[in-house]
Amino acid sequence: MKKICTLMLVFFLIFTCSACSSKKATAKKENKTQTDLKEVNSKSLVIYFSWFGSTQNIAKEIQKQTNSDIFEIVPEVAYSDDYDTVVDDVKKEQQEKARPKIKNKIKNELEKMLKNDRENYEKFYNSFGRTLKFGVYDNFGAEKDVLQDLLMFYSSKEKKMVTLDEYVTRMSEDQKYIYYAVGESIDRIEKLPQTELLLDKGYEILYFTDDIDEFAIKILMQYKEKEFKSVSSSDLGIENNDAELKEEENDAENKVLFESMKEILNGKISAVKISKRLKNHPVCLSNEGDLSIEMEKVLNQMPNSQGIKADKVLEVNANHEVFKVLKDAYEHDKDKLSLYTNLLYNQALLIEGLSISDPVEFTNDICKLMK
């Protein structure tokens, strides 16, 4: 019995290495996957590897009880029938971090399901999409080319999950990038002021609601020669010569005002500038560099995060009434300029889902407006 248990454990490790591409999953993620499995009321897929038949019998019984589809992992080179030889081979594979080649690729089966049985694939993805995205991120993207066509994200245009291929196929000729927005939920993302310009131009935006999403996309970098671009990026890559010229003129005209606002915020931002993405909102945050604001939030939730910060830019809508108030305060009342600047910055933080460093001061500043 001890030998049988050991053998089952060894082959479970082989399966994990071959099929999941992510050996570093935490207990929390495993619990989440188990919870997801319980919540799926649809048809499931049982994937198994069996050396001498015991696991196969268990898998078939699970299939029978759950009315699931079933998939057997078959190595290209069969393992020996001798127990001791198999154990030695498996130990060697583990030491060398080798992944036995699989004769019937799981990816092929998933691609068939995606093409021919979209409903069941989306249910599968709801449970295991996170694992696929970890597979893209793991080992510095070693498996990204294998997994990228299996990824799905919610679309602002289609109002449903779409693949990267479906997104790129719909792109207009003048669109340079695959745009995405990051947030805790679809509802939260739809309210982001950073999406206003892109949606107004009819561009499709992918919504990233999982904390691994943006990290995986940073590893992927591009899909079919189209780079990914966050809606919060300081440069959206949209050519509008007249608007850019006007923005430069506004920045130059209000240079002293912006320098005063930056000084008031005392290192919390890298710059203040006129926004060319805002239409109805008075203010928002964008970021410069590869580290986004959402990535900052995720990294700072980890132990020993050391307070990692993204380079934030405070963008102000020059066409909003608030901007006129800012200019008037700069010319006539520096105390009010400080009050308004801090309020707008904290407002931008709240929009991004970031915490305010001093909530008491923030509430006091709001009360000052009521006097």
Asked if residues 339 and 368 have their Cβ atoms less than 8 Å apart, the reply is yes
Query: 204-243 pLDDT, tens per residue?
Result: 999 999 999 999 999 999 999 999 999 999 889 886 655 5
Residue-range domains of the chain with CATH: 2-105 (no CATH), 151-230 (3.40.50.11260), 241-369 (1.20.120.790)
Residues forming beta bridges with residue 313, ordered by sequence position: 271, 286
Q: Rounded to two decimals, what is the model's pTM?
A: 0.71
> What gap in Å lies between CA 278 and CA 346, rounded to an integer?
17
Measuring CA to CA, which residue among 195, 134, 133, 188 is closest to residue 164?
A: 133
Asked if residues 284 and 195 have their Cβ atoms less than 8 Å apart, the reply is no
Q: How many CB atoms lie within 10 A of CB 323?
A: 20
Please list the pLDDT of the chain residue by residue as tens digits (371 residues). 333 333 333 333 333 333 343 333 444 444 444 444 344 444 577 888 888 888 999 999 998 998 888 888 888 788 888 889 988 988 888 888 777 776 557 788 889 999 999 999 999 999 889 989 999 998 888 889 999 999 999 999 999 999 999 999 999 988 999 999 999 999 999 999 999 999 999 999 999 999 999 999 999 999 999 999 999 998 898 866 555 556 666 667 899 999 999 999 999 999 999 998 999 999 999 999 889 999 988 888 888 777 788 999 999 999 999 999 999 999 999 999 999 999 999 999 999 988 899 999 999 999 988 87
Residues forming beta bridges with residue 206, ordered by sequence position: 155, 180
Asked if residues 188 and 207 have their Cβ atoms less than 8 Å apart, the reply is no
Residues forming beta bridges with residue 102, ordered by sequence position: 75
Instruction: Write out the E strands in 224-318.
Output: 226-230, 271-274, 283-288, 311-316
> What gap in Å lies between CA 206 and CA 182, rounded to an integer?
9
- Site of tokens 């930056």: 262
> What gap in Å lies between CA 11 and CA 17, rounded to an integer?
10
- Site of tokens 């198999």: 86
